[in-house]
Amino acid sequence: MGKVELYDTTLRDGTQMEGISLSVEDKLKIARKLDELGVHYIEGGWPGSNPKDAEFFLRARTMGFKNSKLAAFGATRRAGGKVDSDANLRALIDAKTPVVTIVGKGHARQVRDILETTPEENLAMIAESVRYLKEHGLTVFLDAEHYFDGFDEDPDYAIQCLRTAANAGADCVVLCDTNGGTVTSKVASLFKATRDALPEVAIGIHVHNHADMAVANSIAAAELGAAHIQGCINGYGDGGGNANMISIIANLKLKLGIDVISDEQLAKLTEVSRYVSEVANLIPNPHQAYVGQSVFAHKAGLHVAAVVKHESSYQHIDPTRVGNQPRVLVSELGGRRNVQAKLEEQGIDIPLSDEEVRQLVNSVKEMESKGYQYEGAEASFELLVRRSRPDYDPPFELKDFMVVERRRHSHDGDDDDREMLAEAMAKVRVDDEVIHTAAEGNGPVNALDAAVRKALLQFYPTLEAIKLVDYKVRIIDSAIGTGASVRVLIESTDGENRWATVGASSDIIEASWLALSDSLEWWLIRRGVSS
């Protein structure tokens, strides 16, 4: 295996995923992050297709990439047209990127049925387009669309398309599994046959994931000498997505020993994955290979006991190499080792006897039977530990509360302009003082939160920094309908740190308050307000 270059198409092919819409500013942010990661080529879009991509290329010229080269994407000239009057090819040149990638058909039947032209004309379209772009001093890649399906039907013509591009000066020809359904053994077989037929030509791979084999197919091509691998961050893309660039990088580097990026850049892999999902406004997949929050999480007691003794016992790599962290989950499936390991992981310095740890394990099991779950609510778990201590003194206590909701009509009496209002009255104890407060809010939970904070801010003014950033409600036993218990998971931040808390009850307001209360209490304790 020789050198392998990474070609990222998140900003072009990735944006074809349902639910993704990136602004020009979003694309510039992601491009900057990809450059930091060290990918060799960043495909910014199709400048001939829309004004947004044209603006991106205009603004990207001044970014000063340190590791990456920017690529513009387009297509071969139109059937029956001329290269010097083709608007798409002119847009590629006007983008002023050092690299351009053009898509051309590698499938004889698609040439006839989709392009509605002859196989000979398709070859001319490829040759003339590549030659024209090379005459303008550009690095040119050809994406041979539907190549694997085309090879199946007519291997001679598929290879002829690649040879035509190479003879015209293409720097790399890229085999595309456009339908994303080719199994790995066939990708390997056809890649090898193509390489043997074109031994002097640089060959790349671009595969889609509609059969969930895109990463495996990409790695198989790399093992057979692919010079160039295309993919998208987090596997974004149309339908089932593109090959996941995150997994490709980690596998090339850690499994095949190919230094596509530096060790320092590899350690940013998790950060990059989550950054791109944040900019794309998509929830990160917690189970994504290498970078998911749950990938190196251990729940079973036997697993935790083994990992504590030797990390590699249930981890195929050191997670810190890709910027991830191992986690111990506390649940009814875990034992005393889970609790002890979790305390160490969270830096909770509370000496517990074996009997106290056993009681904590029983407490976790009892709370989970009521609907609690501590796997994603580590702050609530810490409070469970602290509350088990006889000397624990909470910084506040909600003694009583009442929430009233009412519908207020508009002044003109219009029934369509009615507004739901919530008001909460709370009685809160801090030390020996009891405070009565009331507040309105956008719904009962928000009103209760506002009323309690109004009381607590008199004693703990720094609580003003805490904001709720996520609120999830899960029905636990839906079979009993509206009488079902609910679990509320809340994520909070003070601008620097994030933490999660949980509450469970058959009353959604009480479940919400239990999670909110834990959030405030944990933050105060971490700042030394209470022992």
Please report the DSSP string for 415-477 in residue order: GGG-EEEEEEEEEEEETTEEEEEEEEESSHHHHHHHHHHHHHTTT-GGGGG-EEEEEEEEES-
Q: What is the bridge-based pairing of β-strands 297-298 and 327-328?
A: parallel
Q: 133-137, 294-298, 381-385: which has the minimum mean pLDDT?
A: 294-298
Q: Are residues 455 and 473 in the same domain?
A: no
Report the CATH number at residue 510: 3.30.160.340
Q: Are residues 72 and 28 in the same domain?
A: yes
Number of domains, the chain: 4
**Whether pLDDT at 481 is above 60:** no
Q: 172-186, 240-254, 395-409, 489-503: which has the minimum mean pLDDT?
A: 395-409
State the chain's mean pLDDT as an integer.
86
Q: Which of 414, 418, 434 is nearest to 426 (CA)?
A: 434
Q: Are residues 95 and 187 in the same domain?
A: yes
Check residue 421 and give its pLDDT. Answer: 82
Q: Are residues 127 and 241 in the same domain?
A: yes
Amino acid at 49: S
Q: Are residues 334 and 468 in the same domain?
A: no
Token digits of residue 388: 């088990």
Q: What is the mean pLDDT of residues 388-410?
A: 82
Asked if residue 162 is part of any domain, the answer here is yes
Check residue 338 and give its pLDDT. Answer: 60
Share above pLDDT 90 across residues of the chain, in percent, rounded to a whole number: 56
Q: 158-167, 244-253, 499-508: which has the minimum mean pLDDT?
A: 499-508
**Whether pLDDT at 299 is above 60:** no
**Whether pLDDT at 182 is above 60:** yes
Helix axes 119-135, 87-94, angle to 10 degrees: 30
* Sequence-distant (≥ 6) Cβ neighbours of residue 200 within 8 angstroms: 166
Where residue 203 falls (left for φ over 0; alpha for ψ -120 to 50; beta otherwise) is beta
Token digits of residue 507: 């009353």
Q: Are residues 143 and 175 in the same domain?
A: yes
Asked if residue 521 is part of any domain, the answer here is yes
Is 204 or 332 the better-scoring residue by pLDDT?
204
User: Would you place residue 312 in the very low, low, confident or very high pLDDT band (cuts 50, 70, 90)?
Assistant: low
Cα distance between residue 47 and residue 60, in whole Å: 12
Cα distance between residue 42 and residue 33, in whole Å: 11
Q: Are residues 319 and 427 in the same domain?
A: no
Q: Are residues 110 and 191 in the same domain?
A: yes
Asked if 380 contacts 501 with a C-beta cutoff of 8 angstroms, the reply is: yes
Domain finish residue from 459, 476, 494? 459
Check residue 392 and give its pLDDT. Answer: 86
Q: Are residues 9 and 117 in the same domain?
A: yes
Q: Are residues 212 and 161 in the same domain?
A: yes
Most confident of 22-26, 137-141, 317-321: 137-141
Q: Are residues 119 and 29 in the same domain?
A: yes
Asked if residue 142 is part of any domain, the answer here is yes
**Whether pLDDT at 407 is above 90:** no
pTM given for the model: 0.69
Beta strands across the sheet bearing 498-505: 467-475, 486-493, 498-505
Asked if residue 358 is part of any domain, the answer here is yes
Q: What is the mean pLDDT of residues 205-227?
A: 97
Check residue 165 and give its pLDDT. Answer: 97
Most confident of 18-22, 134-138, 453-457: 134-138
Q: What is the bridge-based pairing of β-strands 5-8 and 41-45?
A: parallel
Report the CATH number at residue 226: 3.20.20.70
Asked if 445 contacts 451 with a C-beta cutoff of 8 angstroms, the reply is: no
Q: What is the mean pLDDT of residues 503-529?
A: 89
The domain in which residue 504 lies consists of 461-531
Check residue 230 and give its pLDDT. Answer: 98
Asked if residue 165 is part of any domain, the answer here is yes
Is 391 or 460 the better-scoring residue by pLDDT?
460
The dihedral built from the CA positions of residue 381, 386, 389 and 392, taken in this order, carries a sign that is negative
Asked if residue 302 is part of any domain, the answer here is yes
Asked if 65 contacts 49 with a C-beta cutoff of 8 angstroms, the reply is: no
- What are 336-355's pLDDT values in tens digits? 556 666 666 666 677 777 77
Q: 10 Å Cβ neighbour count for 313?
A: 13
Cα distance between residue 491 and residue 519, in whole Å: 8
Domain finish residue from 424, 443, 459? 459
**Whether pLDDT at 295 is above 80:** no
Asked if 223 contacts 234 with a C-beta cutoff of 8 angstroms, the reply is: no
Token digits of residue 379: 């702050």
Check residue 329 and give its pLDDT. Answer: 47
In 267-347, which ranges are continuous DSSP H helix? Answer: 269-279, 301-309, 336-345
Is 492 or 474 the better-scoring residue by pLDDT?
492
Check residue 428 and give its pLDDT. Answer: 92
Asked if residue 250 is part of any domain, the answer here is yes
Domain finish residue from 245, 279, 313? 279
Cα distance between residue 415 and residue 53, in whole Å: 46
Q: Which residues pair with 99 in a beta bridge?
A: 71, 139
Asked if 147 contacts 206 with a C-beta cutoff of 8 angstroms, the reply is: no
Is 236 or 319 the better-scoring residue by pLDDT?
236
Asked if residue 202 is part of any domain, the answer here is yes
* Sequence-distant (≥ 6) Cβ neighbours of residue 213 within 8 angstroms: 182, 183, 184, 187, 207
Q: Are residues 88 and 130 in the same domain?
A: yes
- Element containing residue 249 per DSSP (H, E): helix 245-250
